[in-house]
Each structure stands twice: as structure tokens, then as C-alpha cells.
Amino acid sequence: MKTMLKLTASLGAICLIGSAALTWVQSITREPIRQADERALTANLKMVLPVETQTTRQVREDGDARVFEATDSSGALIGFAVQATGKGGFGGDVKALVGFFPDGAIRTVMISEHKETPGIGTKATDRKVQRSLWDVLKGKAPETAYPPNAFLDRFNGTREGTVQAISGATYSSGAVNDAVRQARTALAAYMKEVK
């Protein structure tokens, strides 16, 4: 009985020390992680907004959706970006950043966070430069910061929140469609408030 009490006390002390250590580590890493996320968001905003963008400011937050307004050097509105999360991906939620023209048409869609299956679900989420074996051997690499994606590029110039899913990647496509719908809804709500 005494041995069992000693083991229980030892196990309890180990759990208490471990929990305290994890809490401490989380407290000291929370702010650096938040700052890294904000730096990544700033870099991604540059990808989906016009090149002329001088300032970007968040104008609305509604649940998972954040609306940003972009202006040029004269202060004129030149576009919007909305960060939204789509539900139902094969690997979980999909976070998208959708760039919009001032009139509300979609400029471009970029997936900033996902856990989709490489080679299958990533057909609907990733923008990767395709290189031939010859290009790799010669050391050539296409220089583009924003590679094309046939699925994501179907949204460009439209006012739609949905495009046809990719065969074999229907869950991933559905999550992207959901994220774009969420972004359109958030932007429409903001534009309605401003009018």
C-alpha cells in the first residue's frame, strides 16, 4: 500500500512539473508565433493585392473572416483582401486569402494554410512551379513568385464563390470553395456597411 502511494505521488509530481513546463513554454512562445503569423499574412497580402498597394488595413473581423482594404499612394481604394477558413477539407480546415477588385470581383485566390494530401488534395490548394527534369539538370528555375494553379485560377475575374471541383480532390476543392464563399460573404457584409 505504501509503495502504491509513493508511486502515485511520484506520478502526480511528474505530471504537475510537466504541465507547468508546457504552460511556461506556451506562454513564452505565444507572442513570437503570433508575430510570425502576422509577417506571413503581410507577405501573402502582397501576393493577392495589386502591386500599387501602399497601405493595407484590417477593416472588419467576423468570426474566421478578416477583411482588409488596400489603398495606393494617393489614398485611393484599389482592392480588398479577405482571409477566410473553409471547412470540410480531407485533412481539415483550409485557410484562404482572396484578393478582390474594388467592384467585388475576385482578383486571385491563395491558400495560406492546409493539411491536404500531397499530390491529390494539393492540386486544389498549392501554387507550385512545374519544372522538367531537363530544367533541373541545367539549373534553370522559372522565376515567379506567384505560380499558376488551374483550379484556383478559375475564380479569377468572377463573382462566384464556387467553381467545379477537381476529380479525386473533391473534399479539398469543397473546402476551398467554402473558404471563397466565406470571403465573398464577409466582403459583401463590409461593403453593405460602408454604403
pLDDT tens for each residue of 49-74: 999 999 999 999 988 899 999 999 99
Cell numbers for 121: 488534395
Chain segment 95-113, per-residue pLDDT in tens: 999 999 999 999 999 999 8
132-152: average pLDDT: 73
| Vertex 32 angle, CA 29 and 34, to 5° | 105
Q: Is the pTM of this model over 0.85?
A: no
Which helix H or strand E contains 95, and what residues bound it?
strand 92-100
Q: How many residues does the chain have?
A: 195
Q: How far is residue 184's CA from residue 62's CA, in Å, rounded to a whole number?
A: 12
